[in-house]
Homo-oligomer: A and B are copies of this chain.
Amino acid sequence: MAKKFPIANQVRALREHKGNITQTELGEAVGVTRQTIAAIEQRRYSPSLETAFRIALFFQVGIEDVFNWDE
């Protein structure tokens, strides 16, 4: 079970670099709960493309600056 999904991400690093945004704050900003942010950071599942886009938009970077293929 629990096979980790094949896309790495920089969410935690971006949160920290962009002035210590909290999981809760990021979640509120992009419209998901903090548990969802935590699950994404831990690569527990593949978020929707829409959520991924919203996170990238929040940090004002491209999607591929947040998520990258990593099989």
Contact = CB atoms under 8 A, between A and B. Distances in A.
Interface of A: 5-7, 46-53, 57, 62-64, 67, 69
A3 to B, nearest CB: 12
Contacts of A64: 62-64
Given A62-B64, A64-B62, A50 B46 contact: yes
16 contacts: A5-B50, A6-B50, A7-B53, A46-B49, A46-B51, A47-B48, A48-B49, A49-B49, A49-B51, A49-B67, A52-B52, A53-B67, A57-B69, A62-B64, A63-B63, A64-B64
Contacts of A62: 64
Nearest to A68: B53
